[in-house]
């Protein structure tokens, strides 16, 4: 006699499990090899909730047909232990009421960051995707957002901790139960005060240590050495403040130093008469704003001039890669922007395909994102040439440092009215010094001077862009 147990899970209102089986009788004259292999495998299948099946018998279940043939010598013993549900609860507690706010993915080249500050307090109400903390990386500042609407129950990490993508930062309660409200001035990371007994022990220890010290006579301290009038008088340490560098500042410092150590830096200068470009801006600024909704600035004129110069001197747009030179057939111009947290360099993609209005709109959008810290890594990645405008801060002349792995950088400076000789007469002209720092390993002085000369010609006479001369 051979029994085959088949099981079937049935969900009902009472969440009960039932097992249905059918028994097949195998005559002694029939070879057991005729039994299907699938049925043979089912003989030893046991559910966790049924315990040990000792022998087999007919089982009639509610809702099932009772016209089953009884089989001899079969008894079924099923355990009546309750069935425990199998919970599936990613990022939630046992009650399903809490969710975890974790550090998001920060980019291919960024593996960790510093928890700069919390934007919310324990007990604050947050909505879906609302920022609750800021992560400071080597390049950008990233927000940690709430995955669900609820109340902040607990902070897991502390400000200043180094966190990685996937690390838990806070626990959010959907219903707001079990949340202790903390005043804004209080910090959740404050340590709990020690018990009163520990305080007594701490107070008692200094008394025991100071008792023998009082018995010994104090030695008179030697008088401070007299300093000569020429000796340097250093200020006291109490008048100094030590503040750790931000990750962005450390990253900028490392890249600039690597640029000096790697490249053969050389800078060439020229000066530009801004009369015609300023007149062009003055004549069309109102119509430009009315049509395009953005102001016409000098940066778009210099970007168009740089595009023309890069097309005339493609070696300036190239880069050294090992023993090879990579020539780029596209022009992505990086614009250096100074922010309160450090220098960032967003990129204008395919600048050669843009007009003045598109360039001004792109610069305006990227500058706003850089200042409020919402700029992404993709918006700063790449770039084949950089323009740095120190003139907005009043810089008269400077030698900019190349942004690796690029090969050159253009420096703009302030516009100053100076006496110039025009047509044999001395007249005042709005002049600007421009500087080109380049990698002398790749770019010779001839190409650098021709490049800077092209910038000067286009800015002084913007009609060259229209005629392509």
Residue positions annotated with a catalytic role? 440, 444
* Count of residues making up the chain: 469
The label of the residue with tokens 């420096």 reads 411
Report yes or no: 413 and 394 within 8 Å, Cβ to Cβ. Answer: no
Kindly tell me the number of DSSP H helices and DSSP E strands found in the chain. Answer: 8, 18
425 in helix, strand or coil?
Answer: strand
Tokens 């918006």 map to which residue? Answer: 379
- Cβ-based neighbours of 270, under 8 Å, separated by 6 or more: 433, 434, 452, 453, 455, 456
Q: Which of 331, 320, 442 is nearest to 385 (CA)?
A: 331
Structure tokens at 57: 């018998």
**Ramachandran assignment for 63, one of left (phi > 0), alpha (psi -120 to 50 degrees), beta (any other):** left
167 within 8 A of 91, measured Cβ to Cβ: no
For residue 296, the SS3 value is coil
Exposed (0-12), middle (13-18) or buried (19+): which is 170, by Cβ within 10 Å? buried
Q: Is the Cα dihedral 241, 115, 134, 117 positive or negative?
A: negative
From residue 236, alpha-carbon distances to 119, 222, 230, 233, 240 in Å are: 36, 21, 18, 9, 8
How many whole angstroms separate alpha carbon 252 and alpha carbon 245? Answer: 11
Write b or e for each residue in 295-312: b if 16 or more Cβ atoms lie within 10 A of its Cβ, otherwise e.
ebbbbbbbbbbbbbbbee
């Amino acid at each position: 006699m051979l029994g085959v147990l088949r099981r079937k899970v049935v969900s009902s209102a009472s969440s009960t499990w039932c097992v249905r089986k059918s028994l097949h009788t195998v005559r002694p004259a029939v070879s057991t090899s005729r039994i299907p292999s699938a049925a043979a495998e089912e003989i030893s299948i046991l559910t966790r909730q049924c315990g040990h099946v000792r022998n087999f018998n007919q089982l009639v279940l509610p809702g099932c047909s009772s016209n089953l043939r009884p089989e001899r010598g079969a008894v079924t013993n099923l355990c009546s232990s309750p069935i425990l549900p199998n919970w599936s609860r990613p990022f939630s507690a046992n009650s399903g009421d809490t969710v975890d706010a974790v550090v998001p993915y920060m980019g291919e080249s960024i593996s960790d960051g510093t928890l700069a500050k919390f934007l919310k307090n324990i007990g604050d109400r947050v909505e879906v995707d609302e920022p609750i903390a800021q992560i400071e990386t080597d390049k950008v500042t990233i927000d940690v957002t709430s995955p669900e609407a609820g109340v902040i129950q607990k902070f897991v990490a502390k400000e200043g901790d180094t966190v990685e993508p996937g690390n838990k930062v806070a626990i959010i309660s959907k219903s707001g139960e079990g949340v202790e409200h903390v005043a804004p001035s209080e910090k959740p990371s404050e340590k709990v005060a020690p018990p009163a007994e520990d305080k007594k022990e701490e107070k008692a220890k200094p008394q025991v240590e100071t008792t023998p010290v009082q018995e010994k006579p104090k030695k008179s301290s030697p008088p401070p050495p007299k300093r000569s009038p020429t000796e340097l008088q250093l200020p006291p340490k109490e008048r100094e403040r030590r503040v750790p560098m931000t990750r962005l500042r450390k990253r900028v410092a490392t890249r600039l130093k690597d640029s000096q150590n790697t490249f053969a830096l050389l800078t060439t200068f020229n000066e530009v008469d801004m009369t015609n470009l300023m007149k062009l801006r003055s004549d069309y600024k109102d119509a430009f704003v009315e049509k395009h909704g953005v102001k016409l600035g000098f940066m778009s004129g210099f970007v168009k001039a740089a595009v023309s110069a890069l097309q005339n001197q493609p070696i300036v747009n190239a880069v050294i890669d090992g023993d090879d030179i990579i020539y780029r057939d596209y022009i992505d111009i990086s614009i250096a922007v100074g922010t309160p947290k450090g220098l960032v360099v967003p990129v204008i993609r395919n600048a050669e395909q843009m007009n003045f209005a598109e360039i001004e709109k792109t610069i305006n959008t990227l500058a706003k994102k850089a200042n409020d810290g919402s700029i992404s890594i993709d918006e700063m990645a790449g770039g084949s040439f950089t323009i740095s405008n120190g003139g907005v801060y009043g810089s008269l002349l400077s030698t900019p440092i190349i942004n690796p792995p690029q090969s050159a950088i253009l420096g703009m400076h302030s516009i100053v009215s100076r006496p110039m000789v025009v047509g044999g007469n001395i007249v005042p002209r709005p002049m600007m010094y421009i500087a080109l720092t380049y990698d002398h390993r790749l770019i010779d002085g001839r190409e650098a001077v021709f490049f800077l000369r092209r910038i000067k010609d286009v800015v002084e006479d913007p009609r060259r862009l229209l005629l392509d001369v």
